[in-house]
């Protein structure tokens, strides 16, 4: 199964980059800082 990267404001007042399994399980905040982070770019 693959992974999905996305930006979201689900963590609070700022946009963060997240990754999760393609089925929506195990979301992980990849940035964890108090600044806006957007536009994930895949690097295989």
Question: 1-42: per-residue pLDDT in tens?
Answer: 688 988 888 767 788 888 999 999 999 988 877 788 887 777
Which positions ≥6 away from 19 have C-beta within 8 Å? Answer: 3, 4, 5, 6, 27, 28, 30, 40
What pLDDT score does 20 carry?
A: 93
pLDDT in the model for residue 34: 79
Are 40 and 6 within 8 A, CB to CB? yes
Q: pTM value?
A: 0.71
DSSP for residue 40: -
| Phi-psi category of residue 42: left, alpha or beta, with phi > 0 → left and psi -120 to 50 → alpha | beta
Contact yes or no for 21/34 (Cβ under 8 A): no
Phi, psi for 28 (deg, rounded to 5): -135, 130
């Amino acid at each position: 199964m693959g992974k999905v990267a996305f930006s979201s404001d689900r963590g609070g007042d700022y946009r963060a980059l997240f990754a999760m399994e393609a089925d929506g399980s195990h979301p992980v905040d990849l940035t964890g800082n108090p600044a806006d982070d957007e536009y994930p770019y895949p690097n295989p």
